[in-house]
């Protein structure tokens, strides 16, 4: 891997300090410690950065990029750095300077009538939630399991939430980007001076580029439009526990037509028993042995906790009468498929938001990393599955078997898109147990290879596994990867923005490697 | 020193002492506000960190505000380096000055 020249690095940091102030530049150990992967599957210092700079404005980002381009100093942009399980605030390689955008935290616009927000990278889900509530704006955000992270960062990484707007990438409308040469670019209708439809019409004129800046290193996104859901007048939640492992396919097949025709617009997630138990208490409450929990002990733990082998919520949002009609359709579909009843609850506008389906600020989900007693590390493996019970079952059976052969509990679930399932599963390990970490990494590499052989691609992965996953998208001798790198060389000619992100390496790195 | 000047000095000293007490109270209030705002998501009752710490520290001290001894230097180190399952919090998101106020607030001996 290419080293960063220390003289050049110091020169860059001095110039960056002239732009943002010395107090927003960090060097050496301070930078390495601040931006290390907090839940690492490898020695975190082996891929910690050599410096960091935190600008507060677009103009400062442009000035930093121009200097970085001139000196050939690579930058690794992050928004808030809370993408735990996928690398957190850490870069792919050590030889970079972090471009920390957390100080750019303005909510620039919220339009209650048209249902959108325009935000900077540092705006967290908590920030946007409080802004909407404090100002009495009748819009709901969609958020992932924990709300510490960036609204923009999560959407650009194609994160998922649990409202009808839960496929966050699909709700992005209009980006502002600083290019690898320090130019400022706006996508879609933002390319027109004084356009008033930047956050309304996502396509613009000619090629649409928003999606090219998601999970990519083609530019640094400094503003993002995101659609927000009008507050519903009513929500109706149907919760079901499937008591047998083998009930999963029937549950998935019952849900598919309801997702496809729009009866269910949110993204229900079938979470397995370990996922349910880990939210409550560490594993030692049930089992103190090593290796995966024996089936009889897991079954007893499940019964004691009153959870299913699979648990899911189907939440309906909108008009009360429509929700009641759709709920009846949901009940009918599942009654003919599985022998369980839904537990139901309702929320009406004006009532406290708890249990409404509006994501409330919470970090509770982080608690699951303590499943093995901690300190908790985790690697998240996230292949996409066909929305079919038999295909999901095949994927689950193979992957669960691999977890257990490697000595881990299978922790995971299937989150429903409209035509696909995100099979998000997690290897939880203790980050101070070297033997366990070796096993976790071996399992992760085997999962990528096995998935690729079966035609299952990951929708997202840890920074350290970008290359392996990108390689699995190898159709026609890696045509897509070669295309991505051709674009990279064209739009970032100095190769300074996030080298190696998603397996996309600038020309200089490819040449050094070969 | 004549009595007038001496009296004035006593008054000034009293005002100074009162000002110091007010400043300390203000700092503690600021520290608590910052603590609730920046740490409360995990470290209040029912939070993830409180649940984890309940298994590791003496009974009744899982909430940081209830801890018998929590030296400021220890808090600063835990925040900047991370500890256990808690990720590090970097200076760009929590300034050294704000962290110092939080650490001072939690340090019962300060």
Phi, psi of A60 (to 5 degrees): -65, -40
Band of residue B109 on the pLDDT scale cut at 50, 70, 90: low
CATH of the domain at A144: 3.30.465.10
- Pairs from B93-97 (Cβ < 8 Å, separation ≥ 24): B93/A80, B93/A102, B94/B38
Which of B52, B84, B92 has its CB closest to that of A102? B92
Find the mean pLDDT for residues B19-34: 72
Q: Which of A167-176, A181-190, A307-316, B101-110 has the lowest mean pLDDT?
A: B101-110
Q: Are residues A431 and A287 in the same domain?
A: yes
* A90: alpha, beta or left? (left if phi > 0; alpha if psi -120 to 50): beta
Residue of B nearest to A98 (CA): B92
Would residue A471 count as lying in a domain?
yes
- Other CB atoms closer than 10 Å to residue A130's CB: what's the count? 13
Residue of A nearest to B97 (CA): A23
CA angle, residues B50, B56, B59, in degrees to nearest 5: 75
Q: Are residues A256 and A171 in the same domain?
A: no
Q: Are residues A401 and A387 in the same domain?
A: yes
For the cut 60, the answer to whether the pLDDT of residue B3 exceeds it is: no
B55 to chain A: which residues are within 8 Å by CB? 282
Contacts of A200 (CB under 8 A, 6+ apart): A114, A116, A173, A189
Find the mean pLDDT for residues B91-95: 97
pTM of the predicted structure, to 2 decimals: 0.93
Band of residue A11 on the pLDDT scale cut at 50, 70, 90: very high
Asked which of A75, A100, A125 is the last residue of a domain, the reply is: A100
Which of B42, B52, B82 has its CB closest to that of A38? B82
Band of residue A23 on the pLDDT scale cut at 50, 70, 90: very high
Q: What pLDDT shows up at residue A102?
A: 98
Phi, psi of A239 (to 5 degrees): -110, 135
- Contact A47/A92 with Cβ under 8 angstroms? yes
Tell me whether residues B90 and A89 touch, CB distance under 8 A: yes
Q: What pLDDT shows up at residue A374?
A: 80
A54 to chain B: which residues are within 8 Å by CB? 92
Q: Between helices A389-405 and A434-453, what is the axis angle to 10°?
A: 150
- Other CB atoms closer than 10 Å to residue A201's CB: what's the count? 13
Which H or E element spans position A440? helix A434-453
Q: What pLDDT shows up at residue A501?
A: 98
Size of interface A-B (CB pairs under 8 A): 62
Tell me whether residues B41 and A363 touch, CB distance under 8 A: yes
For the cut 60, the answer to whether the pLDDT of residue B27 exceeds it is: yes
A39 to chain B: which residues are within 8 Å by CB? 85, 87
Tell me whether residues B90 and A34 touch, CB distance under 8 A: yes
Token look-up 């256990």 returns B84
Q: Are residues A115 and A241 in the same domain?
A: no
A81 to chain B: which residues are within 8 Å by CB? 90
Tell me whether residues A376 and B85 touch, CB distance under 8 A: yes
For the cut 50, the answer to whether the pLDDT of residue A189 exceeds it is: yes
Interface test with A, best of B36, B47, B90 (most A CBs within 10 A): B90
Find the mean pLDDT for residues A122-134: 97
CA pair distance A203, A196, nearest whole angstrom: 14
- Closest-CA residue to A462 (of A91, A199, A31, A54): A91
CA pair distance A370, A39, nearest whole angstrom: 11
In the stretch 7-66 of chain A, residues with CB closer than 8 A to chain B read 24, 26, 30, 33-36, 38-39, 52, 54
CATH of the domain at A244: 3.40.462.10
Number of domains in chain A: 4
| Residue A459 annotated as catalytic | yes
Find the mean pLDDT for residues A290-294: 95
CA pair distance A108, B98, nearest whole angstrom: 25
Contacts of A185 (CB under 8 A, 6+ apart): A176, A177, A178, A179, A191, A219
A34 to chain B: which residues are within 8 Å by CB? 80, 88, 90-92
Would residue A198 count as lying in a domain?
yes
Contacts of B91 (CB under 8 A, 6+ apart): A26, A30, A34, B80
Q: What pLDDT shows up at residue B5?
A: 39
Question: Which position has the higher pLDDT, B19 or A468?
Answer: A468
Would residue A205 count as lying in a domain?
yes
Tell me whether residues A366 and B90 touch, CB distance under 8 A: no
Strands of A51-53's sheet, edge to edge?
A25-27, A51-53, A97-100, A75-78
By residue range, what is the domain housing residue A479?
467-513
Interface test with A, best of B40, B44, B54, B85 (most A CBs within 10 A): B85
Contacts of B69 (CB under 8 A, 6+ apart): B108, B109
For the cut 60, the answer to whether the pLDDT of residue A1 exceeds it is: no
Q: Are residues A296 and A409 in the same domain?
A: yes
Sign of CA dihedral A267, A273, A276, A279: negative
Average pLDDT, chain A: 96
Q: Environment class of residue B40 by beta-carbon count within 10 Å: exposed (0-12), middle (13-18) or buried (19+)?
A: middle
Find the mean pLDDT for residues A406-428: 97
Asked which of A100, A123, A153 is the last residue of a domain, the reply is: A100
Q: Are residues A373 and A224 in the same domain?
A: no
Q: Are residues A330 and A392 in the same domain?
A: yes
Give Cα B90 to chain centroid, integer Å.
Answer: 18
Band of residue A85 on the pLDDT scale cut at 50, 70, 90: confident
CATH of the domain at A504: 1.10.45.10
- Closest-CA residue to A84 (of A357, A375, A504, A282): A375
- Contact A20/A59 with Cβ under 8 angstroms? no
- Other CB atoms closer than 10 Å to residue A282's CB: what's the count? 19
CATH of the domain at A82: 3.30.43.10
Question: Which position has the higher pLDDT, A66 or B110?
Answer: A66
Would residue A284 count as lying in a domain?
yes
- Contact A169/A227 with Cβ under 8 angstroms? no
In the stretch 86-105 of chain B, residues with CB closer than 8 A to chain A read 87-88, 90-93
Would residue A186 count as lying in a domain?
yes
A417 touches chain B (CB under 8 A): no
CA pair distance A107, A120, nearest whole angstrom: 7
Q: What pLDDT shows up at residue A2?
A: 66
In this predicted complex, what is the ipTM?
Answer: 0.91
Token look-up 């620039």 returns A108
Band of residue A483 on the pLDDT scale cut at 50, 70, 90: very high
Asked which of A181, A204, A230 is the last residue of a domain, the reply is: A230
Give Cα A513 to chain centroid, integer Å.
Answer: 29
- Contact A234/A323 with Cβ under 8 angstroms? yes
- Closest-CA residue to A166 (of A179, A155, A174, A177): A155
Q: Are residues A488 and A364 in the same domain?
A: no
Interface test with B, best of A367, A376, A431, A432 (most B CBs within 10 A): A367
Contacts of B44 (CB under 8 A, 6+ apart): B36, B50, B63
For the cut 90, the answer to whether the pLDDT of residue B15 exceeds it is: no
Find the mean pLDDT for residues A213-238: 98
Q: Are residues A143 and A73 in the same domain?
A: no
CA pair distance A344, A341, nearest whole angstrom: 9
Interface test with A, best of B49, B51, B93, B97 (most A CBs within 10 A): B93
Catalytic residue among A459, A473, A507, A510: A459
In chain B, the domains with their CATH numbers are 32-106 (1.10.760.10)
CA pair distance A287, A90, nearest whole angstrom: 34
Q: Are residues A38 and A119 in the same domain?
A: no
For the cut 90, the answer to whether the pLDDT of residue B37 exceeds it is: yes
Q: What pLDDT shows up at residue A459?
A: 96
A364 to chain B: which residues are within 8 Å by CB? 47-48
Would residue A1 count as lying in a domain?
no
Tell me whether residues B42 and A376 touch, CB distance under 8 A: no
Considering only CA atoms, give the Rg of chain B. 19
Would residue A185 count as lying in a domain?
yes
Tell me whether residues A36 and B91 touch, CB distance under 8 A: no
A342-399 per-position pLDDT tens digit = 999 999 999 999 889 999 988 888 888 889 988 888 999 999 999 999 999 999 999 9
Q: Are residues A282 and A407 in the same domain?
A: yes
Query: A438 CA to chain B: closest CA distance, Å?
Result: 19
Virtual torsion, Cα A58, A63, A64, A66, nearest 10 deg: 120
Phi, psi of A250 (to 5 degrees): -65, -40
A427-462 per-position pLDDT tens digit = 999 989 999 999 999 999 999 999 999 999 999 999
The number of residues making up chain B comes to 110
| Residue A460 annotated as catalytic | yes
- Closest-CA residue to A459 (of A473, A440, A444): A473
Query: B75 CA to chain A: closest CA distance, Å?
Result: 15
Find the mean pLDDT for residues A235-264: 98
A391-406 per-position pLDDT tens digit = 999 999 999 999 999 9
Catalytic residue among A32, A302, A400, A460: A460
B58 touches chain A (CB under 8 A): no
Would residue A314 count as lying in a domain?
yes
Find the mean pLDDT for residues A182-194: 97
Average pLDDT, chain B: 81
Query: B59 CA to chain A: closest CA distance, Å?
Result: 17
Tell me whether residues B52 and A89 touch, CB distance under 8 A: no
B90 to chain A: which residues are within 8 Å by CB? 34-35, 52, 81, 89, 100
- Contact A376/A431 with Cβ under 8 angstroms? yes
- Closest-CA residue to A254 (of A158, A357, A332, A361): A332
Q: What pLDDT shows up at residue A237?
A: 98
Q: Environment class of residue A220 by beta-carbon count within 10 Å: exposed (0-12), middle (13-18) or buried (19+)?
A: buried
Q: Are residues A184 and A304 in the same domain?
A: no
Residue of A nearest to B42 (CA): A363
Query: A359 CA to chain B: closest CA distance, Å?
Result: 14
Q: What pLDDT shows up at residue B1?
A: 36
Query: B46 CA to chain A: closest CA distance, Å?
Result: 9
């Amino acid at each position: 891997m290419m080293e960063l020249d220390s003289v050049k690095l110091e020169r860059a940091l001095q110039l960056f300090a002239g732009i943002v102030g010395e107090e927003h530049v960090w060097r050496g150990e301070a930078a390495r410690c601040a931006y290390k992967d907090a839940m690492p599957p490898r020695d975190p210092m082996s891929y910690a950065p050599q410096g960091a700079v935190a600008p507060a404005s677009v103009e400062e980002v442009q000035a930093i990029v121009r200097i970085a381009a001139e000196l050939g100093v690579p930058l690794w942009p992050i928004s808030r750095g809370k993408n735990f399980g996928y690398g957190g605030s850490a870069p792919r390689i050590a030889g970079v300077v972090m471009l920390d955008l957390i100080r750019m935290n303005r909510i620039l616009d919220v339009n209650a009538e048209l249902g959108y927000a325009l935000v900077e990278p540092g705006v967290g889900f908590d920030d946007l939630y409080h802004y909407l509530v404090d100002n009495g704006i009748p819009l709901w955000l969609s958020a992932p399991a924990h709300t510490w992270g960036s609204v923009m960062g999560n959407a650009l990484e194609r994160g998922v939430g649990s409202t009808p707007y839960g496929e966050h990438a699909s709700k992005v409308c209009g980006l502002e980007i600083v290019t690898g040469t320090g130019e400022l670019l706006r996508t879609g209708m933002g390319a027109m001076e004084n356009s008033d439809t930047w956050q309304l019409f996502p396509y613009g004129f000619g090629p649409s580029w928003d999606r090219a800046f998601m999970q990519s290193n083609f530019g640094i996104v400094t503003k993002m439009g995101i659609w927000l859901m009008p507050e519903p007048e009513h929500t109706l939640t149907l919760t079901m526990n499937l008591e047998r492992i083998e009930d999963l396919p029937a549950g998935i097949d019952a849900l598919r037509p309801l997702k496809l025709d729009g009866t269910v617009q949110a993204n229900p997630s079938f979470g397995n028993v370990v996922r349910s138990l880990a939210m409550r208490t560490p594993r030692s409450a049930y089992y103190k042995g090593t290796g995966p929990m024996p089936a009889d002990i897991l079954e007893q733990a499940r019964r004691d906790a009153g959870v299913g082998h699979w648990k899911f919520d189907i939440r309906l949002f909108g008009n009360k009468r429509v929700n009641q009609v759709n709920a009846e359709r949901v009940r009918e579909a599942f009654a003919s498929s599985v022998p369980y009843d839904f537990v139901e609850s309702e929320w009406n506008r004006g009532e406290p938001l708890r249990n409404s389906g509006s994501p409330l600020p919470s970090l509770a989900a982080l608690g699951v990393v303590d499943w093995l007693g901690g300190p908790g590390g985790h690697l998240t493996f996230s292949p996409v599955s066909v929305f079919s019970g038999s295909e999901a079952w095949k994927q689950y059976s193979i992957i669960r078997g691999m977890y257990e052969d490697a000595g881990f509990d299978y922790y995971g679930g299937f989150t429903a898109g409209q035509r696909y399932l995100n099979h998000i599963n997690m290897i939880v390990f203790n980050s101070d147990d070297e033997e366990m970490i070796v096993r976790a990494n071996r399992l992760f590499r085997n999962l990528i290879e096995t998935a690729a052989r079966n035609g299952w691609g990951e929708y997202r992965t840890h920074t350290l596994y970008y290359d392996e996953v990108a390689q699995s998208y190898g159709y026609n001798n890696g045509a897509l990867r070669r295309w991505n790198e051709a674009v990279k060389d064209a739009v970032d000619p100095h190769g300074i923005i996030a080298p190696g992100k998603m397996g996309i390496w600038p020309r200089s790195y490819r040449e050094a490697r070969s | 020193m004549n009595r007038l000047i001496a009296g004035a000095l006593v008054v000034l000293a009293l005002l100074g002492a009162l000002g110091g007490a007010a400043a300390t109270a203000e700092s503690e209030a600021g520290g608590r506000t910052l603590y609730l705002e920046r740490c409360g998501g995990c470290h209040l009752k029912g939070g993830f960190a409180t649940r984890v710490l309940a298994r590791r520290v003496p009974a009744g001290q899982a909430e940081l505000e209830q801890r018998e001894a929590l030296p400021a230097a220890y808090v600063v180190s835990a925040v900047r380096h991370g500890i256990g399952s808690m990720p590090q919090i970097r200076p760009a998101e929590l300034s050294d000055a704000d962290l110092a106020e939080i650490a001072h607030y939690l340090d019962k001996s300060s």
